[in-house]
Structure 1
């Protein structure tokens, strides 16, 4: 299964990439992320591998992430492996103006188990919806983080 998602973030690309490139902040926008553990290589660099643990509802999930390309600020690619599922994600950051960045992802999934193949066939929208939710959450985090850094008053009732 292949699909792409995109969202415009109202910040310069350098700011977006700097925030994206801070794994210690992933839990601030990646709902359900419990922990990250470096397994090999230099953390955050091409070839590095780390274990990610998630809790989604009552389900716990563990996956291994491998950084397959690190060409920031333009591109950052990873692969993820978990029981019966292999996923590649290409993140692209495209300048749309001095204060706008298009954040685009391309996803490729391969399913090794019959159950996951059936789920992907019957519910491809669930995968797309989850990817888009992470993008919306990252946009909200990045834009709020920048406002806080600039010392703007933030009304918690109006922010997502």
Structure 2
């Protein structure tokens, strides 16, 4: 499954990146995030890996993030791996006249095993959840201007 979503955040790009790049802010805008733990390298730097644990229903879901590109303030890319799922996530941050930032998120999801069936049935939910997370960041960032 592949899709691109975008939204405009009424925050100058420098402030957007400051908020986006701080792991201390993750719980404020990532719904269900329980913990973020650096595993290898410096979190947020290319090649680093981190473990993210999310509440999911009555259980939890663990995801491993690998940063693949850090070209801030223009771009930040990574892969996210969980049981039955691999996501390549490419982010672009476009400056809009110094007053706002257009966030463009390109996603490619690959599913294996049982998750392939889930993806077929709930593909639109994945897109909706991704946009919900982006919107949560937008609300978080705009409240801090």
TM-score w.r.t. length of structure 1: 0.87
TM-aligned CA deviation for residue 37 of structure 1: 1.1
Q: Give aligned pairs, total.
A: 145
TM-aligned CA deviation for residue 27 of structure 1: 0.2
TM-aligned CA deviation for residue 122 of structure 1: 2.1
TM-score w.r.t. length of structure 2: 0.96
TM-aligned CA deviation for residue 93 of structure 1: 0.4
Q: Which runs of 5+ in 1 are unaligned?
A: 147-160
The answer for the alignment partner of 2:21 in structure 1 is 21
Q: Which runs of 5+ in 2 are unaligned?
A: none
**Cα distance in 2 between the residues matched to 1:140 and 1:59:** 27
RMSD value, Cα? 0.9
The answer for the alignment partner of 2:46 in structure 1 is 46
The answer for the alignment partner of 1:131 in structure 2 is 130
**Cα distance in 2 between the residues matched to 1:145 and 1:32:** 21
- Structure with bigger gyration radius: 1
TM-aligned CA deviation for residue 69 of structure 1: 0.4
TM-aligned CA deviation for residue 100 of structure 1: 1.4
**Cα distance in 2 between the residues matched to 1:59 and 1:83:** 13
**Cα distance in 1 between the residues matched to 2:61 and 2:122:** 19
* Structure 1 SS opposite 2:17: helix
Structure 1 stretches of 4+ with a deviation exceeding 2 A read none
1:85 matches 2:85: yes
